[in-house]
Structure 1
Amino acid sequence: MTTSEQTGEETAPIGTLPLDAWHRAKGARMVEFAGYWMPIQYEGIMAEHLWTRTNAGLFDVSHMGQLLLSGEGAAEALEALVPGDISALKPGRMRYSLLLADDGGILDDLMITGGEQGLYMVVNGAVKWDDIAHLREHLPDEIGLNHMDEQALLALQGPEAAAALERLVPGVGALVFMQADAFDWNGVPLGISRSGYTGEDGFEISVPAAHAGVLADALCAMDEVKPIGLGARDSLRLEAGLPLYGHDLDPATDPVEGDLAFAISKRRREEGSFPGAARILGHLADGAPRKRVGLLVDGKLPVREGSKLFDGNSEVGVVTSGGFAPSLGAPIAMGYVPTGLSATGTALAAEVRGKRVPVTVAAMPFVPHKYVRKQGG
């Protein structure tokens, strides 16, 4: 622990990722995020964003929490905490889900993969320790919970990602969106899923931390692959209409308000056996009081997180994410408005530096997703 001279309070030191020296050697500008030093950019956010949309970008997302739940009944135990149909999850299949508070508020959004050894979960870095504590408190004692902190996590995203990774790991191209499998790369075990958070086709690769640098070097040695920082990851996911926990989602927001009702499976809706079911099922039946929406901004002035939204002179909502969209050449945002004002085409205004900027409710994603799905899926 370190001590702040001004307050006298102890603060946790900023952590480093397994690839910290690798990023710095590549000329990355490092910033603190989720308790770690992370690369925000290498050559520039705009260039890195557009490169990922047309080639392949390599992202270090090792700050995320990688967890393994094991033991008989692990899927059923986890179902008591999330609204998805986890017990039906077959090995190699993935599901997006939500860790819910007792009142139905969202504690985190996460990815769950079925496996022979148990359930592999990826949770957000900023709240991973809270998630681990919540799981340990609420899961039965016989369910094992392993924090895989010896693993790094890389994301290779973009239209050239599959061709690049196939050269290193033959057979990986057979995966489709939301599928995962185990692979061997020169004796190094890799857990690879066809997934990501950019809206592009791509993969997430769990690799032993000791081998992460060699794998990153091998990928970036290819002409179509470049390292990409946190800044472009944020603008890519915003264009893809994907929420960021702690900004667009929080414990005050339930899945219906967050426009994530798809994560509540049919069987679970019928059973109503998940935290906050009365609130959530009520919102499904009667409509939630507010909804997460996309916003197109009139002009070039970016509308940032925290900007108030107005309908005429009435304050009606708030922007939760916003910035310039390189693929569109214009600013975009997302935020919360009353459900009655959530229809596409609704004209509103955002307050930026004391000025009212016209915004229009827009369908998301702003840029179409390019996931490679199973034929007919």
Structure 2
Amino acid sequence: MSDTYNPDEVEALEPEVLTLPLDAWHRERGGRMVEFAGYWMPVQYEGILAEHLWTRDSAGLFDVSHMGQLHLSGVGVEAALEAVLPIDLRTLKPHGPRYSMLLDEEGGILDDLMVTRWDDGFYLVVNGATKWDDIAHLREHLPDEVTLSHMDESALLALQGPKAAEALERLAPGVSALTFMKGGQFKLAGVDAWISRSGYTGEDGFEISIPAEAAQQVADLICQQPEVKPIGLGARDSLRLEAGLPLYGHDLSPEHSPIDADLLFAVNKRRRSEGGFIGAERVLRDLAEGTAQVRVGLSLDGRQAAREGAEVYAGGEKVGVLTSGGFSPSLQRPIAMAYVDRAQAAVGTALEIDVRGKRLPATVTAMPFVPHRYHR
């Protein structure tokens, strides 16, 4: 899922900013709190660079309780959900999360999300900044027979990194047997927890849904493991960028369809031929005819990073715009994502990025920039 902090966003510190179950816990540990998606959240503890590298080498605990956890159930829920999402639920096995997205009538991306088949319905995790709009969209388009419950009394944690399984197995025996994109119900130090082997950093790891009242107890126990430190939103953004994972509101928006966003895998094979979901007309047209632009990765020469909004050029011709960018702590060089004209999208194409009037050389690069290390 793509709901990560972007350091270029303007932080509007308004009185109605809400707090999450672990708000005091973050502050006690020195978390520097910022407003994000309507909540106070920690952007960092000891520093984004150190936290990023710690997660790549060991295990980091992220509080992602701002995200929306939804439960859908009732008569005809599967068919109703297929009418809204471009997903093939017939092939979705129990307890196996799958990436999908909400589209508008024109095929533009309203949000990206995760869908899991539970024994009593479907569990969705949507982005925090869009969850209220997502809930309204779903309620508008789902029939009355389908019940949508917002699990607002649940917290969500993400334990990410190559030592995540080693640390979590001590607290939730059996969890290390899960493989990537599989989940199940576990007892985590006596607390009922839904745990899936998934995340948004490119690393092995887990997402953990627990009652909000148990969040502090669980976070304490996880961070008592020698492999684990609390990690802020800043490192979550740099990790997902290295992993080539798009961020909603930046790399994904209603202006883009799953096709130019290079997310064809999220429109499952049967749905590409049958359609029958909101926005299908544009998606199938884009698939058949191609799109003018496509999302690509860019590696920049030198040390100077380029940020969202910077224009991309091929010679004197503007061919695209950056949607994400920053300095890669793992690679020690700047990287970015952009939408560029298809004629300039081939890996190895030399381009330039305009940063305050200075042209920075860049090369179209295959993503992910840092290889994924999912446990399959």
With the length of structure 1 as denominator, give the TM-score of the two structures: 0.95
Which of 276, 286, 293 aligns to 2:289? It is 286
Q: How does 1:1-377 map onto structure 2 within 5 Å?
A: 13-373=16-376
Query: Could you say what secondary structure the match of 2:322 adopts?
Result: strand
Whichever residue aligns with residue 29 of structure 1, its letter is: R
- Check conservation: 1:79, 1:87, Cα contact below 8 A: no
% identical aligned pairs: 66
Query: Could you say what secondary structure the match of 1:279 adopts?
Result: helix
- Structure 2 distance, partners of 1:162, 1:188, is 18
The Cα of 1:285 is off from its aligned counterpart by 2.1
Q: Structure 1 residues 208-217 or 273-282, which shifts more? A: 273-282
Q: Structure 1 residues 269-278 or 26-35, which shifts more? A: 269-278
- Check conservation: 2:189, 2:218, Cα contact below 8 A: no
Q: How many residues align?
A: 363
Matched residue, 1:7: none
Query: What is the alpha-carbon root mean square deviation over aligned residues?
Result: 1.0
- Structure 2 distance, partners of 1:187, 1:24, is 26
- Structure 2 distance, partners of 1:172, 1:95, is 19
The Cα of 1:61 is off from its aligned counterpart by 0.3
Q: Deviations over 1:158-210 (max 9, x none)?
A: 00000100000000011111111011234321000000000000000001011
Matched residue, 2:10: none
The Cα of 1:289 is off from its aligned counterpart by 1.1
- Structure 1 distance, partners of 2:62, 2:297, is 25
Whichever residue aligns with residue 175 of structure 1, its letter is: L
Q: Structure 1 residues 305-314 or 200-209, which shifts more? A: 305-314
Q: Structure 1 residues 186-195 or 15-24, which shifts more? A: 186-195
Q: Deviations over 1:350-373 (max 9, x none)?
A: 111221111111000000000011
Q: Structure 1 residues 86-95 or 245-254, which shifts more? A: 86-95
- Structure 1 distance, partners of 2:318, 2:292, is 15
Whichever residue aligns with residue 315 of structure 2, its letter is: G
Query: Could you say what secondary structure the match of 1:204 adopts?
Result: strand
- Structure 2 distance, partners of 1:133, 1:276, is 17
Whichever residue aligns with residue 27 of structure 1, its letter is: G
Query: Could you say what secondary structure the match of 1:348 adopts?
Result: strand
- Structure 2 distance, partners of 1:86, 1:188, is 30
Q: Structure 1 residues 347-356 or 320-329, which shifts more? A: 347-356
The Cα of 1:12 is off from its aligned counterpart by 6.6
- Structure 1 distance, partners of 2:261, 2:194, is 30
The Cα of 1:278 is off from its aligned counterpart by 2.4
Matched residue, 1:5: none
Whichever residue aligns with residue 31 of structure 2, its letter is: A
The Cα of 1:73 is off from its aligned counterpart by 1.4
- Check conservation: 2:353, 2:360, Cα contact below 8 A: yes
Unaligned runs of 5+ in 2: 1-13
- Check conservation: 1:76, 1:87, Cα contact below 8 A: no
With the length of structure 2 as denominator, give the TM-score of the two structures: 0.95
Query: Could you say what secondary structure the match of 1:15 adopts?
Result: coil
Whichever residue aligns with residue 171 of structure 1, its letter is: G
